[in-house]
């Protein structure tokens, strides 16, 4: 049998073509490979998918100048869906494209309280139930708000509860017991926060030690406001302490109106005057209280109100382009379930398993630079860690918690 003949020129030509084709394939897969090494299809630069990928890459790489953290106290997935159904409208939460879940357990219990839950957000450590801004060894730890202030950013808190309540206190103070309202108020007075809006005036001015802390706050450069009319007259960019109710804010059903979205917008106007950026924490405090009361209507009204504040934050972030918005909850309250109802009328048939908190995971939503980090299932302490990492911040060392010694009221302390 004769061996087949191989023309040398033909062999050279085929080899060259094979080499060029191999190089082309390598370049193609390298150019379309994802960050984790897996390949992805090539997209036309004008296609919606290409633009979406560009947006995702921007979100993954960019560093936010500002962070807005919105906490729906007691807000689980059912609370959100109840707001959608009963409100018969799309929620602003539906604008998010980066979603995840948070594991909420505290240091000493599967079911967290708001103190330990918010402390996980503020210091990135597990705490025992009832703790405020301290770790499991009762060591005071610098909160992200305090770190932001130390690094030159402006800071603020807006809530529909007392500003000494567990969630806001966890960003502003350090105590082992959330019921220490007067000590929390004193620490807020001495803090570097630029803006607080909420309730709880009694803990500042009707105190057992006789001090009038709002007078002390004015001495420290705060403008104080005790009603909505005076609140809007405060010069933009000023330090502001607005305590609009003696103990707690009223429910939406009792006429609170648009306080939360309006105050969120006002806070953004006050804080957005620094080239270094700001940190703002906003809480829809009373979603939780509706859960404790097993009152579906209470939950729905507060959920929709909180969502309106989320809309204000998202609109600001969309226009600003340098703001990360994170929305989550410290825990779920009530074991809330929807067992029936009617979509067209907005009617829901609600059921509850408890009047207390539950241990389920809660949703996390993120928008803006760095939003990708909040997807998937993570521990609640990760929310703090992601925010700190994106800013390149390192917290100062913990210190032993100590309560201040009682002071005798000074003349200026008791002034109106």
Greatest mean pLDDT among 271-275, 397-401, 405-409 = 271-275
How many whole angstroms separate alpha carbon 152 and alpha carbon 273? 12
Pairing of strands 347-351, 357-358: unpaired
Tens of pLDDT along 332-379?
999 999 999 999 999 999 999 999 999 999 999 999 999 999 999 999
In angstroms, the Cα distances linking 178 to 68, 281, 358, 398 are 24, 18, 19, 19
The active-site residue, picked from 114, 161, 162, 382, is 114
Q: Is 122 a catalytic residue?
A: no
In angstroms, the Cα distances linking 191 to 116, 156, 173, 282 are 21, 11, 8, 18
The predicted structure's pLDDT at residue 29: 38
Tens of pLDDT along 111-163?
999 999 999 999 999 999 999 999 999 999 999 999 999 999 999 999 999 99
Contact assessment for residue 121 and residue 69, using Cβ atoms and an 8 Å cutoff: yes
Among left, alpha and beta (phi > 0; psi -120 to 50; other), residue 96 is beta
- Alpha-carbon dihedral angle through residues 47, 52, 57, 58, given to the nearest 10 degrees: 110
**Residue 402 pLDDT level (bands cut at 50, 70, 90):** low
Q: How many helices (H) and strands (E) does the chain have?
A: 14, 16
How many whole angstroms separate alpha carbon 206 and alpha carbon 211? 8
Q: Is 370 helix (H, G, I), strand (E, B) or coil?
A: coil
The predicted structure's pLDDT at residue 56: 53
How many whole angstroms separate alpha carbon 140 and alpha carbon 143? 9
The predicted structure's pLDDT at residue 399: 81
How many whole angstroms separate alpha carbon 335 and alpha carbon 76? 9
The predicted structure's pLDDT at residue 288: 98
Tens of pLDDT along 233-272?
999 889 999 999 999 999 999 999 999 999 999 999 999 9
In angstroms, the Cα distances linking 365 to 99, 129, 159, 164 are 5, 25, 19, 26
Q: Calculate ∠ Cα 132-135-138, nearest 5°.
A: 80
Angle between helices 296-320 and 259-271 (to 10 degrees): 30
* Mean pLDDT of the residues in the chain: 87
Q: Does domain 55-397 have CATH number 3.40.720.10?
A: yes
């Amino acid at each position: 049998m004769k061996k087949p003949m191989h023309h040398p020129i033909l062999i050279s030509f085929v080899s060259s073509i094979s080499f060029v084709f191999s190089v082309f394939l390598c370049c193609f897969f390298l150019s379309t490979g994802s960050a984790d090494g897996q390949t992805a299809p090539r997209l036309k630069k004008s296609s919606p998918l290409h633009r979406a990928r560009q947006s995702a890459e921007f979100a993954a790489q960019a560093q936010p100048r500002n962070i807005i953290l919105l906490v729906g106290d007691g807000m689980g997935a059912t609370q959100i869906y109840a707001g959608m159904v009963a409100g018969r409208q799309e929620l602003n939460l539906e604008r998010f494209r980066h979603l995840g879940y948070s594991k909420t357990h505290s240091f000493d219990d599967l079911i967290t309280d708001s103190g330990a839950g918010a402390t996980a957000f503020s210091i990135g450590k597990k705490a025992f139930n009832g703790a405020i801004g301290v770790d499991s060894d009762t060591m005071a730890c610098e909160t992200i708000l305090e770190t932001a202030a130390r690094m030159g950013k402006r800071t603020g808190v807006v809530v529909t509860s007392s500003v000494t309540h567990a969630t806001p206190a966890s960003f502003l103070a350090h105590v082992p017991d959330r019921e220490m309202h007067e000590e929390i108020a004193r620490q807020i007075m001495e803090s570097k926060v630029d803006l607080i809006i909420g309730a709880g005036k009694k803990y500042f001015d009707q105190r057992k030690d006789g001090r009038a802390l709002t007078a002390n706050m004015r001495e420290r450069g705060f403008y104080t406001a005790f009603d909505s009319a005076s609140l809007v007259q405060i010069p933009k960019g000023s330090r502001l302490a607005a305590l609009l109710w003696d103990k707690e804010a009223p429910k939406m059903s009792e006429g609170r109106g648009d306080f939360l979205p309006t105050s969120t917008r006002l806070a953004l106007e006050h804080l957005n005057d620094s080239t270094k950026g700001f940190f703002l924490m906003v809480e829809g405090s009373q979603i939780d209280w509706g859960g404790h009361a097993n009152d579906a209507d209470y939950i729905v009204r507060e959920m929709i109100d909180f969502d309106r504040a989320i809309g204000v934050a998202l609109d600001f972030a969309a226009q600003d382009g340098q703001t990360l918005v994170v929305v989550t909850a410290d825990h779920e309250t009530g074991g809330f379930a929807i067992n029936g109802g009617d979509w067209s009328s907005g009617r829901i048939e609600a059921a509850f398993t408890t009047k207390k908190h539950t241990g389920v995971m809660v949703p996390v939503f993120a928008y803006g630079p760095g939003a990708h980090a909040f997807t998937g299932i993570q521990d609640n302490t990760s929310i703090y860690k992601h925010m700190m990492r994106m800013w390149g911040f390192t917290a100062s060392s913990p210190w032993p918690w100590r309560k201040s010694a009682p002071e005798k009221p000074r003349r200026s302390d008791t002034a109106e």
